[in-house]
Amino acid sequence: MATQQEILSGLADIVNEVAGVPVADVQLDKSFVDDLDIDSLSMVEVVVAAEEKFDVKIPDDDVKGLKTVGDAVSYIAAAGA
Amino acid sequence: MTGAPTFKTAQGAPYARMLGVGGYRPARVIPNSEIVDRIDSSDEWIRERSGIQTRHAAAADESVIDMALVASEKALANAGVTADQLGCVIVATVTHLMQTPSAAAVLGHRLGTTKAAAFDISAACAGFCHALALANDMIRGGSAEYVLIVGVEKLSDMVDPYDRGSAFIFGDGAGAAVVGPSDVPGIGPVVWGADGGQANAITQDVPWHTLRDDPTHKFPTLSMNGQQVFRWAVFQMAPVCQEALDRAGVRADQLDAFIPHQANLRIVEAMVKKIGLPDNVAVARDIVDTGNTSAASVPLAMERLLDNGEAPHGGTALLIGFGAGLSFAAQVVTLP
């Protein structure tokens, strides 16, 4: 079971890889769209990479609810990562 | 009493290849600025989400058969093949709004075919690569010596100009190729399939008979779930590309060109990254000023790479078409 910090760190690496956002900028309170400039298509790339990394499923319908990095970290933790 | 007769079967050529390609882009060019007001968007937003700057639109009285005719005549001339040599005409389209007869039968007649079978196929954006697979098998199976394959769409007839998810994506156009016999391999094994479980991802919103039952209903249009398609295209199609390479026994670094369906520049770039294509492989980015022309996109992009000298005649290319169905087809080919 990954800790919240481990999930955040892994997610930051993914966001950096997909969108070139500096790892340090990926914080729990940051909005994907407004703060990190991740659009809907980049978000799909982030989500699929996260699915592979944390071995969880994040259906398209649930992606819309992931507004902040914290939302994603909580979702991944609850999904069993 | 005699037994069942032993009958003859057809004998085809050892291999097949594309001999010539031709494209047609309608005269009218539609910049993003003509679209943005209707969908409350901006040129910047469209470019960022799709890479598209302009697309072509057919004239109101210009049919898919008219467009296919121009592309086909170019392909025949480039191949050095005449219409009366054709054994089959296959048209891939989802926007021939005449249910019957087929666009291919009328196209063949207008081209002057004398002995060609003709039929349409419905595999949406994967249509051209499906037609190429069929042509390859026909020629090797002895059902035809030369086959004309056409991808053509008049998507402006089927797109809702007010739909934010699709109005900026699609364009009109036609692309054709002549496929004929070859002594050496020119078309690799096709890797293809369909997932009707995702039929809703890209679909005509209501069937034609809705208009019969309710004449006040709006004309049917296409609808698309962009994120669902993006996920499928990038993450499911990259392995299909790799399988097409593996089955042909070709490595990515041996390719001269990668010509994927021009769905969205973001999908093209993500696929290139996923497959791990080396920088020296020319990548088709025809979508920038052609838009997504569905079945026509692969041959249009192929013609442009060849005309611009970005890929060599006789070079090796990986093609993949993918779209509504969901359906897909990929193969390694020798460029005409």
Q: Tell me the pLDDT tens digit for each residue of A6-28.
A: 999 999 999 999 888 999 999 99
DSSP alpha helix (H) spans, B112-196? 127-141
Predicted local distance difference test score (pLDDT) of residue B1 = 62
Q: How far is CA B91 from the centre of its chain?
A: 10
The residue written with tokens 């838009």 in the block is B291
Tell me, which fold does domain B191-334 have in CATH? Answer: Peroxisomal Thiolase; Chain A, domain 1 (3.40.47)
Q: Degrees (nearest 5) of the Cα angle B293, B179, B20?
A: 70
Closest CA of chain A from B273, distance in Å: 11
Compare CB distances from B49 to A39, A43, A47 and report the shortest one's residue: A39
Taking alpha carbons only, the member of B169, B281, B192, B195 closest to residue B243 is B192
CB contact under 8 A, B49 and A60: no
Residue B230 contacts A, CB cutoff 8 Å: yes
Q: Residue B211 pLDDT more than 90?
A: yes
For B228, nearest residue in chain A (alpha carbons) = A60
CA-to-CA distance for B287 and B290, rounded, in angstroms?
A: 5
For B227, nearest residue in chain A (alpha carbons) = A41
Range of the domain at A41: 4-78
Mean pLDDT confidence for B106-113? 98
Residue positions of B annotated with a catalytic role: 125, 261, 292
Domain ranges of chain B: 15-182, 191-334
CA-to-CA distance for B73 and B54, rounded, in angstroms?
A: 25
CB contact under 8 A, A45 and B225: no
Nearby residues of B283 by Cβ (< 8 Å), 6 or more positions away: B257, B258, B268, B272, B277
Task: State the ipTM, two decimals.
Answer: 0.81
Predicted local distance difference test score (pLDDT) of residue A79 = 87
* Residues A32-78 pLDDT 10s: 999 999 988 899 999 999 999 999 999 888 998 999 999 999 999 99
CATH number of the domain bearing residue A10: 1.10.1200.10
Q: What are A's interface residues with B at a Cβ cutoff of 8 A?
A: 39-41, 43-45, 47-48, 60, 63
Mean pLDDT confidence for B53-62? 97
Which residue type does B280 have?
N
CB < 8 Å from A in window 47-86 of B: 48-49
Residue B44 contacts A, CB cutoff 8 Å: no
CB contact under 8 A, A60 and B228: yes
Are the C-beta atoms of residues A4 and A70 closer than 8 Å to each other? Answer: no
The SS3 of residue B42 is coil
Compare CB distances from A60 to B227, B264, B270 and report the shortest one's residue: B227
Chain B residues whose CB is inside 8 A of the A48 CB are 231, 234-235
The residue written with tokens 């036609």 in the block is B174
Q: How many CB atoms lie within 10 A of CB B73?
A: 16
Residue B183 CB-density burial (10 A; 0-12 exposed, 13-18 middle, 19+ buried): exposed
Mean pLDDT confidence for B142-163? 96
CATH number given to B15-182 = 3.40.47.10
- The more confidently predicted of residues B92 and B164 is B92
Mean pLDDT confidence for B120-136? 98
For B181-241, the DSSP string reads EESS--BPPPEEEE-GGGGGGEEESS-THHHHH-TTSPPP-EEE-HHHHHHHHHHHHHHHH
CA-to-CA distance for A11 and A19, rounded, in angstroms?
A: 12
Whether B15-182 shares its CATH topology with B191-334 is answered yes
CA-to-CA distance for A1 and A77, rounded, in angstroms?
A: 8
* Element spanning B242, H or E: helix B226-248
Closest CA of chain A from B230, distance in Å: 7
Chain A residues whose CB is inside 8 A of the B264 CB are 41
Mean pLDDT confidence for B64-71? 98
CA-to-CA distance for A15 and B245, rounded, in angstroms?
A: 30
CB contact under 8 A, A39 and B48: yes
Q: What is the domain count for chain A?
A: 1
CB contact under 8 A, B227 and A48: no
For A45, nearest residue in chain B (alpha carbons) = B231
Closest CA of chain B from A76, distance in Å: 18
Which residue type does A6 have?
E
Buried b (16+ CB within 10 A) or exposed e, B90-126: bbbbbbbeeeeebbbbbbbeebebeebbbebbebbbb
Which residue type does A40 have?
S
